[in-house]
Amino acid sequence: MSNWYAIIPKHPIYSILGWIFICFIPYYIIFKNQSFTVQSIAAAVLITYLICVYMDFSQPGRLSYMWLSFEMIINAVMAILFGYFYFALFTAFLIGRIRNKVGFFIMYGFHIAITVGSILSGFFIETELYIQQIPFMVVVVFGVILAPFYLFSRTQSDQLELKLKSAESRIHELSIVEERQRIARDLHDTLGQKLSMIGLKLDLAIRLVDKDKEQAKLELGDIRKVSSMALKEVREMVSDMKKIKIEDELLHVQEILEVANIDLKLKGKIKLDSVPLILENTLSMCLKEAVNNIVRHSKATKCYIRIEQTAKEIRMTIADDGIGYNVNDKHYGNGIKGIMERIQFVNGQVQFESTKGFTIKIIVPLVIVYHEDNGKSLL
């Protein structure tokens, strides 16, 4: 609740009109037939109250309690002398902004006591005026009792949500650090010893190449075996890492698009067949980044995703009907740069089109790698 006028409706215009209806129309009705002196005093009190409200918002913390106390006194004076008690609602909402639990309950109790006491006192002084306002009086009293609790609980809920998000972000950062450390340890244990062995045997082979060619060949053969073992262990380590499946990412982006009120049109394959881990991870991350760009920048109402897989390549197209992008401008944003870098890493191609909206076409080859045992697999 960052603005004084945004307490009930989200739109500031509606909120201001609501407060005029609640507070200032009764103010006008009560004082329109009064003498000029009374009207002047009431106007001065009104201006003083609004100054206190402004100071309450501009000086949070302990000073806020002082300004709230001034507001309560003004409420009591207006209710007893003029039969105007509507500013008590305003003060009730301001009390609901207090974050300290003890401070909230103290100010809440004082406000109820002062409001009820001033209304009862004013009722005996201006009985006829108060009888005319009994329905509004009931609304104000209930508002003074219930509104602070509602706003206080909402403030507490917002604080807990912020703490939860901060904790989740911290956990995510720590998990990334831990994963990096684990990968570093695995790489050191997997490659460190074997690379050292390869270096030693290579030095030995260089020294033996002119003296003992047969022994040099044996050393080179050992180097080949050790390098093959290292490659196998690296592949096993990579295969143990978390795999981001394309079908899972499609479900995720569908949820994001629904929240953004963007209609998703999906064509082609939802699940890829026998695709290497690194390729599916790369495509999933590119899909996520492309959809994030659509939600943030495109102002689109529709998103089109098409995925095709052949024996030699995978084609993925992400398009929208938004404002488009100048493809001749080479100053791409971080999202587009990230997609290009990831696809280039797996020897793929990226094409951009901007006619009706913006289209990203990704082509990734399925490369065949042959192993020592004459088998073959996709890499």
Average pLDDT, stretch 277-296?
86
Residues 69 and 203 grouped into a single domain? no
**Is 170 a domain residue?**
no
Residues 147 and 110 grouped into a single domain? yes
Q: Which pLDDT value is given to residue 190?
A: 64
> At residue 376, does pLDDT exceed 60?
no
**Of 30-34, 39-43, 317-321, where does mean pLDDT reach its minimum?**
30-34
CATH at residue 344: 3.30.565.10
3-state secondary structure of 329: coil
196-238, pLDDT tens digit by residue? 778 887 888 888 888 888 888 888 888 888 788 777 777 666 6
Is there a contact between 275 and 314 (Cβ–Cβ < 8 Å)? yes
pTM of the model: 0.41
Residues 158 and 18 grouped into a single domain? yes
> At residue 34, does pLDDT exceed 80?
no
3-state secondary structure of 99: coil
Residues 365 and 253 grouped into a single domain? yes
Neighbours of 237 (CB within 10 A): 16
> At residue 379, does pLDDT exceed 60?
no
The whole-angstrom separation of Cα 237 and Cα 183 is: 9
Q: Which pLDDT value is given to residue 364?
A: 93
76-135, pLDDT tens digit by residue? 887 777 777 777 877 887 888 787 888 888 888 888 888 888 888 887 787 777 777 778
Average pLDDT, stretch 330-348?
80
Average pLDDT, stretch 349-362?
89
**Is 7 a domain residue?**
no
Average pLDDT, stretch 176-194?
70
Residues 197 and 148 grouped into a single domain? no
Average pLDDT, stretch 358-376?
67
Residues 250 and 230 grouped into a single domain? no
Residues 236 and 251 grouped into a single domain? no
Residues 20 and 155 grouped into a single domain? yes
**Is 377 a domain residue?**
no
CATH at residue 207: 1.20.5.1930
**Is 57 a domain residue?**
yes
**Is 3 a domain residue?**
no
> At residue 17, does pLDDT exceed 90?
no
Domain that holds residue 224: 177-240
Q: Which pLDDT value is given to residue 350?
A: 93
Q: How far is CA 89 from CA 127, 187, 332, in A?
A: 21, 65, 52
**Is 376 a domain residue?**
no
Is there a contact between 39 and 58 (Cβ–Cβ < 8 Å)? no
**Is 378 a domain residue?**
no
Residues 76 and 206 grouped into a single domain? no
Counting the structural domains of the chain, the total is: 3
